[in-house]
Amino acid sequence: MSKRKARIIGTSTVEDLSSEQNFKKMWNDTPTIMKRTGEKLGDKPIPYNVAINPNKMPYKHKEIEKRYFTIGEVAKKLNVATSLLRFWEEEFDQIHPKKNKKGNRQYSPDDVRWIGRIYHLVKVRGFQLWGARKELKIEAAENISILIAGK
């Protein structure tokens, strides 16, 4: 980097940004392009002297691991009615949502995976409910035998 002084157009100098308070102030200011002292406003900014305002900066969304999902969130994710999820809860032993003090269902990530598997069997592959139950039991038995063989 160059040892020349740099400045932020419309705000304080770079040296003033060493304190945390001034640094926070810089993030909230609207002018964000830093230029070398002596350059004209029409000149192209130097790439390493660009200050980024996080409010305007695109960022990578991190997938947050949720502990529980509401019935509405699960229904929206699968594009099905909430009544269908309540029905599947009665029909399949694998789904065990917890209920909070209000009585709202809270689905764990495991419950959501089971519901996704049931959805695939019933809606995508066209299984009837008894066939889907049978298929899930076969898959569970295969998984257990694989785990036992792996020991």
100-139 pLDDT, tens digit each: 999 999 999 999 999 999 999 999 999 999 999 999 999 8
CATH number of 75's domain: 1.10.1660.10
Does residue 55 form part of some domain?
Answer: no
Burial label for 129, CB within 10 Å (0-12, 13-18, 19+), is: middle
Does residue 62 form part of some domain?
Answer: no
Residue 20 has pLDDT above 60, yes or no: no
Domain of 28, in residue numbers: 6-49
Q: What is the mean pLDDT of the segment spanning 73-89?
A: 95
Does residue 1 form part of some domain?
Answer: no
Residue 10 has pLDDT above 80, yes or no: no
Does residue 114 form part of some domain?
Answer: yes
Total domains, the chain? 2
CA distances from 109 to 5, 9, 69, 74, 106 (A): 53, 49, 8, 10, 10
Does residue 57 form part of some domain?
Answer: no
